[in-house]
Structure 1
């Protein structure tokens, strides 16, 4: 239909013209459209506006369509279409005309302009039939000849045979995938003169659209990305165009690896010490076939943020990446080649993965390998701004930060030097917030910090408001995480509905360092002093009112998190040399801090899914993994690049590490155990017991080889009190704590070994969120239940369709996996619970996070906590929050002996995109920590509607990769 065709508006069925028919207008710089005939023209967003306007004309008539309402609607729809196109385009900067029209159609449907959308769909179908008929009428004598534009500008004929072979190779060995749909879609997007980058991108984009119907296409997409990476890396290290198939790499990796090391050293990205390894032996150990284990999300994440690059070119291939990390960790070993190969095999098999800072920086000139840093901020300007400076230096090389701000005097406190009054802690928190934003870790991920304040601090109520979207923005920290450091005495006052007294720390300085019975005695003495008029700044508040406000803010903004001071200290192995004043960015680290010591923790996680089968936990394999992993983590301490001296002194004195786990949900599903079951709680207990046993045993072995850590004497370890034994100490201080204490392994003999030989590490275990490294390994993060069985995950690398492959396998086995099931999963937000034809056993096994009673998560966490000398990042999920439920859950967490909790997650207003249009990713529920009214609450929590969706971490929030 020509652009000049008159549109009848008197009730006829005229339909809108296609986007491609209007006259040229100003273009969007740098973007291009591939026409159906293969020609390429500049992308012109105004044609979308014209097409949409004509669509409304065709349906609503000239008067209605010419109104301001329609004009505004069309403008908004155009912006939506352009935004979606830009977000999906990748690196090619080209759109196919069909992609543009798909987005126009989607925008009309999403905005519920159904009549216009229907007319538009009918018109597209009619035009498609016309083109097909025309094509059939003209017999094509020869296929059009396509050329590829190389990096140097030269053009060469497209090697169609290789293009097909790469796609076929990517599909080899995978069930239920086919070369043809990828090839057909990819060829549709080629044009004469296409660049090499665009050519390599075309099959990847084609394959990833098929992931929602068959999870194995995620492996196909990753393998196609590997071809792109191989061309980029091999060409760069050799200095001439080179490409290789996966089959070629079996022999090519060994010769490439020395070239890679040389290139990295010359670019001043790799430590020259790595060049002095026996590179021939190292290169021969690389296993090219392990490149095939990646899923697309994992490999794309590595490609975008982890692989070494210079001048915009990646030159690090996956197995070289794992070996570079391993060599960096083995640099000071006696048999460093042997240890490097041992470490490499653990990483490249995905049995264990180091934390992100270790992966970023191992083997480089600045090997800052530690994940978490904890600091205490002093109560004077020098100390405060030194703390802010330390934050910047620590964050620069990918460290996550936890700041203890409790010592800073409160609002209205006397300042002797100026004879004035303090403005309290909040203005300084604002400075720390802005510093975290400014130092973004070289663009690899956002700087991230969590501020902790003890519940008796006089500024606690202002602290609770820091993340609100209303009020004075100068007293808000929209990007900083916050956490309450809650003493047991406060929880007891809440349960008794008693009064709570708030103090300024400059008048009660010892409360900061006290816990348990000593804290209670001192606190009650200060309350008596306040009543007698001996303190200047203090006030009383009903404990239950403060508790309600804490939960209200947690509900509305996701902050502050609730963490418990007393169990963190009473069960700490290091109470003889200091106090735990806070946790870290992700609430799993519980180490001492002071003005002289900045606590450091070095993290890594066992992939539990790789250590189970339907028969259960493979204890021998787990023992081997944990033993090697503990050696790697201990090596971090000596190799580490420390940006401030307080961190180095603390780390070398105490040598803490944090071995955690990931893939817990995958392990349960492999063993056919529903998360909400006694079986899952028992597995949480037994698996953590095994990790704890082997981690402690490995640290004893390291102590025998290398010596015990310097502050060992006087620790709980030195007294034969292991984590399982320290439950008794908590029960003495707080009668009524409800923790299971059963065990199954030979702890008596291990206890004697610890006392006799000592420990290499003051702390050995902590369960981190593993937000990114679990993506690399292709498993569920940390100890989390599945968020959804089908959803779109967004991170700094883009949007990725995630499908529960095990569920698909089970549904296929029962003849239930088809397009209708995909549509149903989208409609029900990734849940099988409401799909009638899914059997009940699968509904239980694949229940998602919001379908599981949160009490199961707390019970499983309590069973793990008894074995862990630090803590765990425990998110709590509530489908329909209320004041009563929140109150019950957090009191339950306290009674069950948990040291910390992390995010509170509840459903948001965003739901799965219901469209089943081909080639689109259904955008699933984001998660934010507030959603529904709490009016039903027995303990009222009033939710501010303007803040009801909060500013908390969403599971598909691309900015939330705080710890790993």
Structure 2
């Protein structure tokens, strides 16, 4: 049986050669190279290419990840080794990509000029740090390609980002490259996609206002949505100002069809204009206040039943909920629905001003319809139980605890419900995101807050630079971004920190650590932004903001920080020099970047200790490596234990052989009280000047449970009370070959 080598020569297939290749890449890993090689050789065929053997070897090793997570590391090493043989490094990749016109002239020129210095900075050994899932995610969507063939290595991508963001200073480039390539923090997906490219659109999310309640206003907004989606941006759009069904149209002497037919047009635009040309689906979140007369039909848009003409299932629905609505529900009061054409300005005010205007319109009889507030809440909860949406965001908390309250009223968040910025018909708000990888700061002595503080400051400095080097899809975005300079730094891997430190997710120790991490990052971000302001000046709209008056986020929450950091001196410095950025901290989902770095997502608890993950990059077995390592230390990681975890849907709670202390640490999200999840979010809140993408999880949600969670989150003062409601499927998937029994090959346990 012949194998075709990379240079076109042929040689005989050999078990020894495949074994040696696996062995060479298995250094330090707890794997059996011969077992992998035997499976591979049995599937070879005459004329197979050596590159195809590498793919087969990697896929085989990856399929054995349920036996030990090191098999996923071996799989990644095989693919990295193959990629490095196929590619020539940074300068070679730059030349190839420049020929097809992807990269900017400035970037190409810089790499050409500083070729040797950059080659000294880059360390391709760091490519071997990824696991298989992380590497395949990079391969599928992030590494730039020429005619479908990958042209750059992961280190080339990190260097591309460092050069694009840090500018012409080699020391600054090295600082950023080292932190990215060693996994201390990462910029968000659009920055990794587009840095160094001709269309260098690096922002993650955009908040649009419906320009006007008119045909021209609606379609101008639709065009803006298409332009943003084209360049890989997620969109949040508020439509409170669109008149309701049956409202008069003066110009034509007709009546309005309401928001549903309009939203169907936005739905099809999201499907047609995907992000970055096939990299990710276009995504629009639509925000509506619950006083809008079309609220009931809005809540049905994603339901699985009903007439198709009244459905828009590709849109993400979100409610912008005033406190008055929650109070009326609590009191079992009436709730009046209005149309903007006759009851103007309700979305423009919040707090007491909203209550006065709303009650004035009620007294004037301007309502379209009056229903029981609890009836509408029932419809909201029914939609959430069926579809996971609408999101629940609390309008008054978002505005009262905003550092942008001097700019006007915030009327929506973004696609992922963590960005809080003012958007108007004249300005489209945007945000540039990054996340810190918290597990990197766990040491033998505990958690290294000083290192977290240092890395946070570097991340904030570079996020501010992103604004200046960014391509803005519309003039409205450029105007807003430069005037207010908002950034959002989040976290990933909080659950991994608890695993590494042997803390139960809902323990008091974990809760304190969670709060200390949030406080450290907020202090560091303000300090970095103040230092930037000292050098470059404050953001344009700084005067009149809460922070210009010495009011920090924790002051708006009426919370008291700890004595870990010197807040008094920081307030004095900011009073003297100001800050460079209106907003600094946002807790975003981090789904893709956490996959790349091998961390749990954002601040989420884990969904399962072992499951199969199906993504655009393929199908992957994910095992909780921390659990495996802990069980190994105690001599408990056996085939029997592994099969038991699979049989229990990734849970360890009912397995007698696993010690109680490990059961407490390795509970999954379904086994943790959602009250504890909300409390953790509320504890972070005073140090998060934007908001948090807070998912809530109920295996079999009931009306009473969902209702109780909403009221608890609202009363805790959260801005985002719920991003998605996650629930389990009605039937558990059957497991793959457990204990010698062949069973249906489906998900081990679906991750969210």
Secondary structure at the aligned position of 1:775 is classed as helix
Unaligned runs of 5+ in 1: 1-144, 235-255, 729-738, 928-954, 957-964
Correspondence for 2:412 among 564, 582, 602? 582
Counterparts of 1:224 and 1:282, CA distance in 2: 26
Q: Which residue number in structure 1 is paired with residue 227 of structure 2?
A: 393
TM superposition shift of 1:348: 0.5
1:148 aligns with 2:4: yes
Q: Which residue number in structure 2 is paired with residue 384 of structure 1?
A: 218
Secondary structure at the aligned position of 1:680 is classed as helix
TM superposition shift of 1:205: 1.9
Deviations 1:260-287 (A, max 9, x none): 2222222212222223331211111111
Correspondence for 2:486 among 620, 642, 656? 656
TM superposition shift of 1:259: 2.1
CA contact (8 A) 1:663 1:782 kept: yes
Q: Which residue number in structure 2 is paired with residue 778 of structure 1?
A: 598
CA contact (8 A) 2:736 2:745 kept: yes
Q: 1:313 to 1:159 in 2, by over 3 A?
A: farther
Q: Which residue number in structure 2 is paired with residue 881 of structure 1?
A: 701
Q: Which residue number in structure 2 is paired with residue 301 of structure 1?
A: 137
Q: Which residue number in structure 2 is paired with residue 566 of structure 1?
A: 396
Counterparts of 1:905 and 1:836, CA distance in 2: 29
CA contact (8 A) 1:826 1:913 kept: no
Query: 914-923 or 701-710: which moved more?
Result: 914-923
Q: Which residue number in structure 2 is paired with residue 805 of structure 1?
A: 625
TM superposition shift of 1:604: 0.4
Deviations 1:160-216 (A, max 9, x none): 765443311210122x21211111111111122112332221211221121101111
1:819 aligns with 2:655: no
CA contact (8 A) 1:486 1:564 kept: yes
Deviations 1:591-617 (A, max 9, x none): 001100100000000001111235332
Q: Which residue number in structure 2 is paired with residue 269 of structure 1?
A: 102
Q: Which residue number in structure 2 is paired with residue 598 of structure 1?
A: 428
Correspondence for 2:314 among 447, 467, 479? 479
Correspondence for 2:179 among 323, 346, 351? 346
TM superposition shift of 1:851: 0.4
Q: Which residue number in structure 2 is paired with residue 892 of structure 1?
A: 712
Q: 1:803 to 1:897 in 2, by over 3 A?
A: same
Q: Which residue number in structure 2 is paired with residue 417 of structure 1?
A: 251
CA contact (8 A) 1:669 1:845 kept: yes
Query: 272-281 or 749-758: which moved more?
Result: 272-281
Counterparts of 1:448 and 1:196, CA distance in 2: 40
Equivalent residue runs for 1:216-227 within 5 Å: 216-227=70-81
CA contact (8 A) 1:826 1:924 kept: no
Q: Which residue number in structure 2 is paired with residue 862 of structure 1?
A: 682
Q: Which residue number in structure 2 is paired with residue 211 of structure 1?
A: 65
TM superposition shift of 1:524: 0.8
1:166 aligns with 2:21: yes
CA contact (8 A) 1:826 1:922 kept: no
CA contact (8 A) 1:516 1:566 kept: yes
Secondary structure at the aligned position of 2:40 is classed as helix
Q: Which residue number in structure 2 is paired with residue 493 of structure 1?
A: 328
TM superposition shift of 1:777: 0.5
CA contact (8 A) 1:792 1:922 kept: no
Q: Which residue number in structure 1 is paired with residue 297 of structure 2?
A: 462
TM superposition shift of 1:584: 0.6
CA contact (8 A) 1:828 1:912 kept: no
Secondary structure at the aligned position of 1:647 is classed as helix
CA contact (8 A) 1:907 1:925 kept: no
Q: 1:527 to 1:267 in 2, by over 3 A?
A: same
Correspondence for 1:553 among 380, 383, 396? 383
Q: 1:925 to 1:403 in 2, by over 3 A?
A: farther
Correspondence for 2:552 among 709, 722, 729? 722
TM superposition shift of 1:156: 4.6
Q: 1:771 to 1:921 in 2, by over 3 A?
A: farther
Q: 1:922 to 1:836 in 2, by over 3 A?
A: farther
Q: Which residue number in structure 2 is paired with residue 445 of structure 1?
A: 280
Q: Which residue number in structure 2 is paired with residue 39 of structure 1?
A: none
Q: 1:220 to 1:894 in 2, by over 3 A?
A: same
Over 3 Å off, 4+ runs:
149-152, 154-165, 739-744, 917-927
TM-score by length of 2: 0.96
1:292 aligns with 2:128: yes
Counterparts of 1:720 and 1:861, CA distance in 2: 24
Q: 1:429 to 1:614 in 2, by over 3 A?
A: farther
CA contact (8 A) 1:351 1:625 kept: yes
Secondary structure at the aligned position of 1:660 is classed as strand
Counterparts of 2:444 and 2:310, CA distance in 1: 54
1:310 aligns with 2:146: yes
| Structure with higher RCO (Cα < 8 A, 6+ apart) | 2
CA contact (8 A) 2:207 2:414 kept: yes
Query: 283-292 or 640-649: which moved more?
Result: 283-292
TM superposition shift of 1:909: 2.6
Counterparts of 1:379 and 1:743, CA distance in 2: 51
CA contact (8 A) 1:488 1:516 kept: yes
Q: 1:424 to 1:835 in 2, by over 3 A?
A: same
Q: Which residue number in structure 2 is paired with residue 370 of structure 1?
A: 203
Aligned-residue Cα RMSD (Å) equals: 1.8
Secondary structure at the aligned position of 2:235 is classed as strand
Counterparts of 1:542 and 1:614, CA distance in 2: 57
Counterparts of 2:493 and 2:145, CA distance in 1: 30
CA contact (8 A) 2:736 2:746 kept: no
Unaligned runs of 5+ in 2: none
Q: Which residue number in structure 2 is paired with residue 141 of structure 1?
A: none
Counterparts of 1:809 and 1:684, CA distance in 2: 24
Secondary structure at the aligned position of 2:374 is classed as helix
CA contact (8 A) 1:501 1:540 kept: yes
Correspondence for 1:765 among 581, 585, 590? 585
Secondary structure at the aligned position of 2:247 is classed as strand
Q: Which residue number in structure 2 is paired with residue 528 of structure 1?
A: 363
Q: 1:742 to 1:560 in 2, by over 3 A?
A: same
Counterparts of 1:393 and 1:491, CA distance in 2: 37
Counterparts of 1:648 and 1:869, CA distance in 2: 22
TM superposition shift of 1:347: 0.5
Counterparts of 1:509 and 1:579, CA distance in 2: 15
Q: Which residue number in structure 2 is paired with residue 839 of structure 1?
A: 659
Deviations 1:884-933 (A, max 9, x none): 11111110000011101211111113424323268999643666xxxxxx
Q: 1:520 to 1:609 in 2, by over 3 A?
A: same
CA contact (8 A) 2:736 2:748 kept: no
Correspondence for 1:705 among 515, 521, 535? 535
Q: 1:387 to 1:633 in 2, by over 3 A?
A: same
Secondary structure at the aligned position of 2:555 is classed as coil
TM superposition shift of 1:727: 1.3
1:197 aligns with 2:45: no
Matched pairs, number: 744
TM-score by length of 1: 0.75
Counterparts of 1:561 and 1:920, CA distance in 2: 37
CA contact (8 A) 2:291 2:337 kept: yes
Q: 1:597 to 1:329 in 2, by over 3 A?
A: same
Q: 1:282 to 1:615 in 2, by over 3 A?
A: same
Counterparts of 2:666 and 2:72, CA distance in 1: 20
CA contact (8 A) 1:454 1:484 kept: yes
Query: 640-649 or 807-816: which moved more?
Result: 807-816
Counterparts of 1:298 and 1:718, CA distance in 2: 42
Deviations 1:280-307 (A, max 9, x none): 1111111122112100000011011111
Q: Which residue number in structure 2 is paired with residue 45 of structure 1?
A: none
Larger radius of gyration: 1
